[in-house]
Structure formats: C-alpha cells, structure tokens
Structure 1
Amino acid sequence: MKVENFKTMWGFTGDFETACKEVKEAGFEGIEGKVPQVSEEKARWKECLEKYDLAFIGEIVTGGDYVPSRHHTLQGHINDVEEAIKNSLELNPRFMTCIGGCDAWSQEQSIEFFKSSMELAKKYNIEISFETHRSRSLFTPWMTKSIVDAIPEIKLTLDMSHWCVVCERLMTTELDTMKAIAANVHHIHSRVGYAQGPQVPHPGAPEYKEALLSHQEIWEIVWDAQNVKGMQITTMTPEFGPDGYLHTLPFTNAPIADLWEINCWMAETEMRHFNTYAEKKGLL
C-alpha cells in the first residue's frame, strides 16, 4: 500500500500547464478539480495531463455552487451529477469526487440522491466518492454513518475539517463513529480544521499540534480499513484553500500564508506520516 498526493485546483489562479509543472516538481501524482465547460480549455487540460503524465480526479458540485441553492430540486442535484460526469470523461478521471446534496433534506431525500448518483456513475463506468462537507447531505459524522448504514457500498471522500466546524470539536471525540465509516472512505482531503474553523492558519504551527494529531489519528484508522480491504493505493488531496478559509490580516486582507507552500508541507508531512505508519504495520 502506498499514498499518492493530488493538487487541488481550488484557489489556483495561473494557467493549467503551470499547475501541472508545480505538481510534477512537488512529486504529486496528479490534480483534482472541476473540469472546465469550454471545450478548448478542456482540451488544453487533457493535453497537459498527458504531457506531464499526471492522474486526474474529477470534481462534481451540485446545487449551483459550493453552498447549494435552497431552491435547487432533488432531481436538479441528480442532473448536475450526470452533467459533471459527462463533461469529465474526456479527461479519463481516476474517479469523481462529489460535493452533493443538501443539509436541509430529509434522510430519505439524501438516500435517493446518493443511490441515483451511484447508478449514474455505474452507467458511465466510473467510480464516484461523496465528500463529507458542511451545507451538504454528509454535514455531520452521525448523518454520514446513517447514510453508510443505509447504503453500505457508498464511497466517501473524507474531509473532517468541515465536521470540526459543524460539531465545534475535533473528531477524535467521535472515534466509534469514525471507525464505523472508515471502510467506506475512498479518498481523503487532508486539510486540518479546528473547533472554530475549517482551516488552521498553518498545520505545522505548534499551537495547532493537537488538531493535526487528531486528524492523523483518524487517517490511520482509515488506512487500517483500506488495508484490510486490500487497497494498494490511498489518495490524499491537501486542500488548504482561499475564500474565507485562508486567514488574512485585518484591514489589509493580506494572506498570512502561501497556500501552495502549506499544501506542499501537508503532502510531505503525510508522506512521512504514512511511511512511518506503513513501516509500523509491516506494509513496506
């Protein structure tokens, strides 16, 4: 078993080839992002991914934006999944990760959304993994466990940083629930949250050591479950980003850290962490 890191396109403002060069230089395996709609730009992405021999994880966002419109219908969310899958196939994604559903839905509505989305993924012969994300159907660990109980075959993209905010505590307080869903985790977004926010200013800062260790403890639980399932590769996307996540200085709005530096730090740290874990478990 080995770990592979992916660069998020969230917060990246340069051209796509520059992103590919950064990924290659940093030793990442590939890129995760929402595929452009414009055919010329999509063709450019395909060309660059092939040129730099990079894997790709496609992103699906339902409901109109990252915080879904409350007026978007259930069928509208399902339609968004199909359109995003169809738009991404040209890039041959390893799998799709989906920010989908709505936190205000009933459990029955969410189950219908996930089952319908999984049927669409099967139709297009691609895997789909659903992100644990606030404002979405998987906005708490307990709702997620209920969905897993109802749909045991569902795959999850685990981003605990959202749950830290919703629950106002670190998820090591909920280890029984974390263990119950660990076998369903297909992909990890390795951003570190804390009780009052989805993103610590820097995961290497000593004042946030407890938050980092909390996330790492649960990632090891996931790796244990993935190893039991016989997974040969575990994937992580360091997903520190902008848009209210990155801390800024008052009045100037100047960012207090460089996102790419943070994400590289996270990737390198988790590579070392995984290798230590794997050696301890006899996986190397």
Structure 2
Amino acid sequence: MRSWLTGPADLESLVQQTVDDGFDGIEGPIPQDIQQRQLLRRLLQDHGLVFIAEATTGIDPDNTKDWWIPEPTRSTGEHLDDLKWAVDHANEIGAMFVSTMCGYDAWSWQQNVDFFGRALELEQTSGITISFETHRSRSLYNPWTTRDLLNQFPAMKITCDFSHWCVVCERLLDTEWPILELCAERAHHVQCRVGYAQHAQVADPRAPESQEALEAHERWWSLIWQQQQQRGMAKTTMMPEFLYDGYMHTLPYTGKPVADVWEITCWMADRQRQRFSKQGYC
C-alpha cells in the first residue's frame, strides 16, 4: 500500500490540520513503518480523532504512476494477502474499521466469489469490520456486479462512493434506484465525492452548473442515512473526498487547478453535517 506520510513532521502536520479544520478523524493507509504507526496512534489518541484504515489491494508498491490501479497478474490470493496485512495492523492503530479498494474489474464471477468469500471469512475471524468500496478498476466498479455480489453475500458491507459509477454508467444513478436501495441497506461508510456522466469529480460542487449532480448524490446519501437509522447504527461515517491527482479539472497548457480542493473538502463537510442534523439523524 502507498503511504501519504513522508515522516513524523508530515504526520503531525496532517493531524493538526485535521483538528484545526474541525474534522472528527482521518481515513488513509496504515503506515508501513512501525514507528510511524506508533506515532499515528498516539496523535489520534491525544487529539480524540478516529481512524479509518484504507486497504488498497493488488497494486505495485514501487509504481508511482497510477499506483492505485491493480496489477493484472496479481491473484485473488495476493489481493487477500494485502487486505490481511491491513486487517492485522488495524488494531495497532486503533482503527474503527477497514475500508478497502479491492479486487479487479477484469475478474471473472468465480474469482470475485472466491475473493469476497475469503475476505468475509477474514473479517469474521479477525473481528475487524471490513467495508468494500465501490470504485473504478475494482470488482465493485459498476452497480450490477455489486448488486449480484451483495445478493451472493448477505454479510457484505460496502463503502459507497457513487461518483465512480456515474462515469461507468455515463449517467446519474436514479435509473438504478432498486440497486441504490440495496446499497443503502448494506452501506457502512460513505465517501462523498460528487461525480457526473463524464468525470468522477465535478470541477466545483459549489458552482450552479454542478447543482444537478450534487442534489442527486445528496438524495443517495440521504437514502443511506435513512437505512442506517432504521438498522439502529449508533455511528455513521462520511468522508468528503475531493482530490487533485487527475480528479481536479485543470486549465489547458498551465495545468492550473480550477478550484481549491481543501476549500471544497471543508465546504462539503460542513454542508453534510448540516444536512444530517436538519434531517433528524442526530
């Protein structure tokens, strides 16, 4: 797994920014270095922050370009080994749960069944909750495969990032409402990026031209909150995930971003806290 941490100073700065901007926790990969893991745990405890461990399976750790894309030659067993590493170290950090970008979009149905069956066995034996993310290039890259796997595995929980499906389906997802309802019933965590038919991230969700896509995603997130409330979940988690890294639109020739990612991230967090509260979920 690729770490976003380059050293103790970087980690301390990240935690401090998280606190300063009013966030409740951090979602990211578990550091490979044991001293970094120990420092992260201490900082989280000192500041009262939660940690959601991110597991990215089947990648080449030495690849700095498109590092998140799974290697075609990696077997289901190798993907499972990567997931197991994260699960084994999640308690070391004090993680709430593991959210994993896993599998491969080119796998056969039987490969998917083999991987997710074994992953759910790992969840049961480890005692760590595993939430499987809907993401391009991964097994849950489209609504229909996800639907079939959820039906195959009643215990399977998902991290819902519907922005990816908007690109894969080339439309907003209200056309797939029964699948959205099923996803809401199994939703454990939400990543609230806003996508649309041609891109997994709108240039700026605050802009009027993004209103239709924003309102659509908020319908889907409200559906998830309703289902989580009906299931009696004591806590619900959401991460506003807006990135540069190819997601943010840029100007031709200069490559200058058209908006500030961190401003958008903070704006989205505030907006969804207000919506969650107004709709009576807290």
Q: Same fold (TM over 0.5)?
A: yes
Does 2:40 match 1:39? no
Distance 2:114 2:249 in 1: 37
Structure 2 counterpart of 1:43, which letter?
A: Q
CA contact (8 A) 1:30 1:54 kept: yes
Does 2:53 match 1:58? yes
- Comparing 252-261 with 151-160, greater Cα deviation is found at 252-261
129 and 20 in structure 1: CA distance in 2 versus 1, 3 angstrom threshold: same
Give TM-score, length-normalised by structure 2: 0.92
Query: Which of residues 275, 278, 281 in structure 1 aligns to 2:277?
Result: 275
Does 2:166 match 1:164? yes
CA contact (8 A) 1:35 1:59 kept: yes
Distance 2:261 2:125 in 1: 37
Deviations 1:132-168 (A, max 9, x none): 0011110101111100100011000000000011111
CA contact (8 A) 1:11 1:241 kept: no
CA contact (8 A) 2:100 2:130 kept: yes
CA contact (8 A) 2:5 2:31 kept: no
Distance 1:56 1:97 in 2: 11
Structure 1 counterpart of 2:36, which letter?
A: E
Q: Which residue of 2 aligns with 1:4?
A: none
Distance 1:12 1:276 in 2: 40
Structure 2 counterpart of 1:265, which letter?
A: W
**Structure 1 SS opposite 2:279:** helix
Structure 1 counterpart of 2:241, which letter?
A: E
Structure 2 counterpart of 1:38, which letter?
A: D
Structure 1 counterpart of 2:179, which letter?
A: T
**Structure 2 SS opposite 1:56:** strand
Query: Which of residues 77, 80, 99 in structure 1 aligns to 2:79?
Result: 77
Deviations 1:71-114 (A, max 9, x none): 10111111111112223321010000000001111122112211
Q: Which residue of 1 aligns with 2:11?
A: 16
The alignment-based identity, stated in percent, is 42
Distance 2:206 2:174 in 1: 19
> How far did residue 48 of structure 1 move?
1.2
Deviations 1:167-223 (A, max 9, x none): 111112211210122110000000000110000111111100000000000111111
Distance 1:269 1:203 in 2: 11
Distance 2:10 2:126 in 1: 29
Query: Which of residues 132, 135, 140 in structure 1 aligns to 2:134?
Result: 132
Distance 2:13 2:120 in 1: 34
Distance 1:189 1:73 in 2: 27
Structure 1: gaps (5+ residues): 1-8
Does 2:259 match 1:257? yes
**Structure 2 SS opposite 1:233:** coil
CA contact (8 A) 1:11 1:242 kept: no
- Aligned-residue Cα RMSD (Å) equals 1.8
CA contact (8 A) 2:150 2:156 kept: yes
> How far did residue 16 of structure 1 move?
1.6
Distance 1:159 1:226 in 2: 16
CA contact (8 A) 2:15 2:44 kept: yes
Structure 2 counterpart of 1:36, which letter?
A: P
Structure 2: gaps (5+ residues): 60-66
Distance 1:225 1:106 in 2: 31
Structure 2 counterpart of 1:186, which letter?
A: H
- Comparing 206-215 with 239-248, greater Cα deviation is found at 239-248
Does 2:118 match 1:116? yes
- Comparing 38-47 with 128-137, greater Cα deviation is found at 38-47
Give TM-score, length-normalised by structure 1: 0.91
**Structure 2 SS opposite 1:63:** coil
Distance 1:11 1:266 in 2: 24
Question: Which segments of structure 1 move beyond 6 Å, counting only runs of 4 or more?
Answer: 9-14
Q: Which residue of 2 aligns with 1:240?
A: 242
Structure 2 counterpart of 1:277, which letter?
A: Q
Does 2:24 match 1:29? yes
> How far did residue 10 of structure 1 move?
6.5
Greater RCO, CA 8 A, separation 6+: 1
The alignment covers a number of residue pairs equal to 272
